[in-house]
Amino acid sequence: MKLKSLILGSVAAAGLSTAGFAADLGVLTSLDVCDSLGISGLTISSSDNCLQITGGVSYEFNWGDYRGSFPVAGILGGASVRDTMDNDGVSPSELDWRSKFEAWLKFVGTASSDFGPASVTLKLKQVDIGRVRNEANDPDGDNAALTFDEAYVSVGDTTTIMAGKKGSIANFGDDEPFNFLGLFGSDWADKGVKWDILDGNLDTGGHVIQVVSAVADGVTIKAGLENLNDVAPVTSAGTAIGVLEYAGQGITAHVTGLAGGILDGTVDSWAMHAGITGTFDAFKVRGAFAVQNTTAATAWHGLVSVEGTFDMFKIALSGEALNNSAVGANTDFGFGGSIGATVTEGVSINLGGKYFDSNNAGGQDGYQIAAQLVAAVSETVKVTGEVGVFGNVTASTTDFYGAAELAWAPGGGFTSSIKGEAHQNGAYKVTFKAAKEFK
């Protein structure tokens, strides 16, 4: 119990019969700025400001012989090759390893204003990566200094104005396939549909001016100017973003529009990303579409996924299509599916596969088939095992693999895991992870 709460309780007990004491009690209560602003967690307060502090550290270490590339599927004429690991070293100099450390510390200072809460956000972040390939230093390593990842001001409640350095307001969600292996094109898009296939110097975040407004029940409108700090090339500077979102009654949906290079008065690239997810009793349905246009080409990526839960079984099917006029008029396709079953309490299995059909010159057809077992050994320990095969149909090659992971979450926000993976092509890797955040 807070000391202030104990004092207030004593005052209340002593002065319940006196109106004057009740008024004084109200004044004392209002001094708790963090409570009045609805801010919890690790906080420090003064008479009119609340400072919330959050942070975290994550660490990952990989070791083995895995830095080689085993091509599986070539997307849009081979513009992106989805691959798996391969061994490319020769003894006695065949080993690879990678050590990655990431830390962040965030401070949010908030006070009340006539327009709603007024805040300043400062987030410090450092990412440090060291890589070795075939027992020689890999220049792809990144030893970044501690920097301000975010530094911006904001004011407002139902309508919020933000300015400074921060992430984008663009919504790129509601676009991940439900089947447990996903899809090849979706993996290329970092799990979803890819809105920036052509690149086109269309960047988001950075130096921004943003407005977010909740205009109706479940409806939010966002507008902003982002990437205002981009000066090389100058023609790419400035991205205008508009977002319309809805969340309610089992449905989440959005449309995000982007126009790039606006600061010189000419739009040199535009894009759109839209997604919708509907949950109807035992079924989930998801659809997403993204398109990008530059002066040279137009490209798009679409996805549909459905999931049904029937007692102990869960079935998911997904499909995608991609097109890029810069590499040809043909459209690439991909599809996948999975079936999962809860065998006993804490034990489940997943069976699935995915296939990619490349229809442009230089592309490659490929597939993956896998079986997965997930078992909760205790409330804090989970074991996951997986066996499967990658196949490149165009090259007539296959790669069988097996993997096992032990995950531990003892509580307090701490998580850790160790995973081993071995492949038919000779590649192998051991991965250790540990992370903790405080909020």
Largest CA distance in the chain: 88
* 11 falls within a domain: no
Quote the pLDDT of residue 37.
87
CA pair distance 33, 24, nearest whole angstrom: 17
* 23 falls within a domain: no
User: What range does the domain containing 213 cover?
Assistant: 32-438
pLDDT per residue as tens, the chain (439 positions): 343 443 334 434 433 333 343 333 333 334 478 988 889 889 998 888 999 999 999 999 999 999 888 999 999 988 788 888 888 877 778 899 999 999 999 999 999 999 999 999 999 999 999 999 888 877 766 667 789 999 999 999 999 999 999 999 999 999 999 999 999 999 999 999 999 998 767 899 999 999 999 998 999 999 999 999 987 777 788 999 999 999 998 999 999 999 998 998 888 899 999 999 999 999 999 999 999 999 889 999 999 999 999 989 999 999 999 999 999 889 999 999 999 999 998 999 999 999 999 999 889 999 999 999 999 999 999 999 999 999 999 999 999 999 999 999 999 999 999 999 999 999 999 999 999 999 8
Quote the pLDDT of residue 8.
39
Quote the pLDDT of residue 140.
65
* 6 falls within a domain: no
Q: Which two tokens stand for residue 300?
A: 């798009």
Strands (E), 18-95: 43-45, 50-65, 68-75, 80-86
The amino acid sitting at 155 is V
Q: Which two tokens stand for residue 70?
A: 């085993």
Report the first-to-last Cα separation within the chain, whole angstroms. 19
Total number of domains constituting the chain = 1
CATH number, position 378 = 2.40.160.40
* 1 falls within a domain: no
For residue 3, give every residue at least 6 positions away whose Cβ sits within 8 Å of its Cβ, in sequence order, or none. Answer: none
* 3 falls within a domain: no
The answer to whether residues 261 and 267 touch, using CB atoms and an 8 Å cutoff, is yes
* Count of CB atoms situated within 10 Å of the CB of 283: 12
Quote the pLDDT of residue 200.
66
Quote the pLDDT of residue 141.
60
| Residue ranges in 87-236 assigned as alpha helix (H) | 184-188
Backbone angles phi, psi at 120, to 5 degrees: -125, 130
Question: DSSP class of residue 38?
Answer: T
* 145 falls within a domain: yes
* 13 falls within a domain: no
Quote the pLDDT of residue 264.
86
Side-chain half-sphere CA neighbours of 4 within 13 A: 10
Quote the pLDDT of residue 208.
97
The answer to whether residues 335 and 366 touch, using CB atoms and an 8 Å cutoff, is no
* 152 falls within a domain: yes
Quote the pLDDT of residue 25.
34
